[in-house]
Chain A
Amino acid sequence: VTTELGVIIFRIAFWIYLAAAVCYIGYLIGRSDALGKVGVSLLILGLLANTGSLAVRMVASGHPPFLNLYEYMISFAWGAAVVYLALERMTKNRSLGSFVVPLIALFALLACRLPSDVNPTMPALKSAWRIPHIASGILAYAAFGIAFGISIMYLIRDRAERKGKSFWTSRLPSLEAIDRITYRTVAFGFMLQTLLLITGAIWAQYAWGRYWGWDPKETWGLVTWLIYAAYLHTRAIGWRGRKSAVVAIVGFIATIFTLLGVSFLMSGLHSYM
């Protein structure tokens, strides 16, 4: 078992995710239930390949696949596929996938382009807190990615309704339903993101001797958390629909900046990640 094998398996997972994304889009545009079924099957198959790639990498490197950006991204694609499949089952609505599965394929593609070397752990960072920290990060960001995809869907349907175009209104769930699903997804992600910040602070205390140090990753993590807190607070004062969808979209842009932008553009204690 080698790291290269894991990388190859993940590349296969990417192609399956891409095929699943094409089927999901075809399902929506062509209103073809058969394509929808193929899409789900491919997504599950891709998830299995993704799981295989994670398992092979764990065995080959001897640590959980959480140590560098490549490992984080293949875990993130995995988390997004799992959370999406659970959401599809809960809502019994497959059209969500037409907006979410292409995002999963995009993230898998991004992972394929990252350097996949195995890095040794810095001694200061060896801690049991890493596992809950990164696991909650994967699930929280996956939920935010899904909320982003279905918020775009909301805006498309909202625009179609105002312009009286039936192409989208006949294919997408009602605005109320989309709005509600986004809210539930953000609320799920928010709790996990809070756990992400807390476990990160405790880990930082052990590794660097302070809970919080305004490192760029920490600062942007807080900015993202505040945006989602604003999403939930503004709903409590009655925001719904379009306004909420825009906040969820802004939140995910901040999430991407926290996850990737900070790693590539800024230097700090998290720059290994």
Chain B
Amino acid sequence: VEEVVDYTVLQVTKNPGIPVIYAGFGLMLMGIFISFYMRNPAPSTKPGVSL
């Protein structure tokens, strides 16, 4: 039996783009919120019908 060597594989990552990614996520949610909740919903086929 040959000698057994213990070892660990570790990987270190650094991603300077993380704030950009999170800002993108935030913008996307904000955009959906504004377009579907802040303004009037898409006009109905008949006036006076709303939720």
Contacts and interface: CB of A to CB of B under 8 A. Distances in A.
Interface of A: 90-91, 174, 176-177, 179-181, 183-184, 187, 190-191, 194-195, 198, 202, 209, 211, 232, 235-236, 240-241
5 tightest A-B CB contacts, nearest first: A187-B36, A176-B49, A198-B25, A184-B51, A191-B32
B34 to A, nearest CB: 10
B2 to A, nearest CB: 31
A211 B44 CA distance: 39
Interface size on B, as a range, is 10 to 19
A4 B49 CA distance: 48
B14 interface: no
A91 B28 CA distance: 29
Given A176-B46, A180-B49, A180-B50, A190 B41 contact: no
Interface of B: 11, 13, 21, 25, 28-29, 32-33, 36-37, 41-42, 44-46, 49-51
Nearest to A93: B51
A177 B51 CA distance: 7
B28 A198 contact: yes
A180 B32 contact: no
A127 B25 CA distance: 19
A235 B42 contact: yes
B8 to A, nearest CB: 15
A179 B41 CA distance: 12
A236 B43 CA distance: 9
B51 A91 contact: yes
A190 B36 contact: yes
Given A194-B28, A194-B32, A187 B37 contact: yes
B44 A180 contact: yes
A83 to B, nearest CB: 14
Nearest to A185: B51
Given A190-B36, A191-B36, A194-B32, 19 more contacts: A91-B51, A176-B45, A179-B44, A180-B41, A180-B49, A180-B50, A181-B51, A184-B51, A190-B32, A191-B33, A198-B28, A198-B29, A202-B25, A209-B11, A209-B13, A235-B42, A236-B42, A240-B45, A241-B45
